[in-house]
Structure 1
Amino acid sequence: MRSFPFSIVASLFTIAFLFVVNWLTTPTELWAIYPALFLLLWPLNVLFKFSDGHKWYALIVSILLITVLLAINLVQTPDYYWILYAWLPLLYWPLVVFAGRRAAEVTFSVLASLVFILYYIGLNIYFQTGFPWFIFPTFVILWWPLSVTFARRPMLFSVFGALLVTIFFWNVNALTSPDVIWAVYPIFAVLWWPLAIYFFVYRRTV
């Protein structure tokens, strides 16, 4: 535990030095806040490592990141609240940590993913109706319930995973460049996934 006081003093000393350099060189641009954020993670990591408080560490760090991003948003681009896109994924970290084993349950993963998807659909409708960009975070978050549901069934996981990738690339192709059918290349590549599972896992045991 002796390293905790050292980490505090060293972090604060370095942060103070960075802010002085920031003020002397470029006082109109507050860049010191970025390395200061990561330096604060050092004593927090040391503290919660010894206290076995990984849950509170996840919560405090996520809140700290959200607070810093909010401050940057309000200072640099107050006319556009891009923090609305970033805060929810950061909160999902402590949510999963506090949920523990329940995060590996199908019901929990489906409900948490549904909230995530509906939130970004709402942002898409409210801010940018011209392009359905919500399909990108939706594609990412859907792997959570998919992996939880079929984690012990590799054949079904590969089939539904390949189907998800196919639907995603097909929609991106149709939305961005319908005149050029390029989606067939990643779709062709991902189809080897269930094919390999079938011949090298299931077919071998027959």
Structure 2
Amino acid sequence: MKKYDVGFVVAGSLMTIVFLITINFITSSKYIWSVYPSIALLLFPIGFYLMKKKEYTLFSILSSLGISIYLIVENFMSTPGYPWFLYAVAPLAIYPILVILGKRAQTMPVAIIGSGSIIIYYLVLNLFLSPQYPWVIFPAFAVLWWPLTIYHVKRKAYVRFSIYASIFISVFFISVNAISSPHEIWAIYPIFVVLWWPLSMYFFVHKRQLELYSETAQKNISHKSYELKNYS
């Protein structure tokens, strides 16, 4: 990177922010929309500088903290009666934690504790903020892929992973179907598509095993033919 890269990025970000604020007040001064891209433009030079210095942990902490503060302020300024910023706190807090953990984030204990904590957090939010619908099944479905994937990838059990993952996806769609629209059975359609995953994995592995067996058998036959020819 050149010497003036950081200065160029800072100057470009500030000029763009000034331009957006000017356009905002000229066209629609009653609604301050320029604040949204300005947040990203402020984080960009900070991230650029920290990435250049290889300060990945510091960047993750500052970016998560900055976005969290912005969401909290925006929440209490626009809709103070409903704390919707709490929905974004969990992923924003997990990001720097995973960066700090590094390769340890790829271990089963961390995956189980992390996914379990996220599910409990959103379950509490679901119960207290919006108990009308059990939407916690959606973040739970997303984070449970973490330990499920690590468990099978560590063991290189890709066929079993496709089977258990397909069952997991099917259970998810059946649950959503039963909760959201029990009078209309639509879950069968995505389940039918998902079933092709383990089937294709099985036949791919089975075909590969047959090819290896055939190659081994041909080598053994060739070796025995060579021995018989020399013996005769």
Q: Give TM class, smaller chain.
A: over 0.9
Moved more, 52-61 or 111-120: 52-61
5+ long unaligned stretches in structure 2? 211-232
- Superposed, 1:85-164 pairs within 5 Å as 85-151=87-153, 152-164=156-168
Q: Are 1:59 and 1:94, in contact at CA under 8 Å, matched by a contact in 2? A: yes
Q: Are 1:173 and 1:181, in contact at CA under 8 Å, matched by a contact in 2? A: yes
Residue 115 of structure 1, CA deviation:
0.3
In structure 1, distance between residues paired with 2:98 and 2:207: 37
In structure 2, distance between residues paired with 1:58 and 1:127: 28
SS in structure 1 opposite 2:82? coil
In structure 1, distance between residues paired with 2:50 and 2:177: 46
**Seq. identity, %:** 37
- Give 1:182's aligned residue: 186
Is 1:170 the counterpart of 2:171? The answer is no
Q: Which has the larger radius of gyration?
A: 2
Q: Are 1:3 and 1:46, in contact at CA under 8 Å, matched by a contact in 2? A: no
Residue 128 of structure 1, CA deviation:
1.5
- Give 1:22's aligned residue: 24
Is 1:197 the counterpart of 2:201? The answer is yes
In structure 2, distance between residues paired with 1:203 and 1:125: 49
TM-score of the pair, normalised by structure 1: 0.94
In structure 2, distance between residues paired with 1:164 and 1:172: 12
- Superposed, 1:43-58 pairs within 5 Å as 43-58=45-60
Residue 123 of structure 1, CA deviation:
0.5
SS in structure 1 opposite 2:30? coil
Residue 26 of structure 1, CA deviation:
2.4
TM-score of the pair, normalised by structure 2: 0.84
The one of 2, 9, 12 aligned to 2:11: 9
Q: Which amino acid aligns with 1:78?
A: P
Count of matched residue pairs: 206
In structure 1, distance between residues paired with 2:63 and 2:179: 37
- Give 1:32's aligned residue: 34
CA deviations 1:60-103 (Å, max 9, x no partner) are 11211112222221111111111010111122221111110110
Instruction: Quote the RMSD (CA, aligned, Å).
Output: 1.4
Residue 203 of structure 1, CA deviation:
4.9
CA deviations 1:112-145 (Å, max 9, x no partner) are 0000000000011111112110000100111111
Q: Are 1:73 and 1:83, in contact at CA under 8 Å, matched by a contact in 2? A: yes
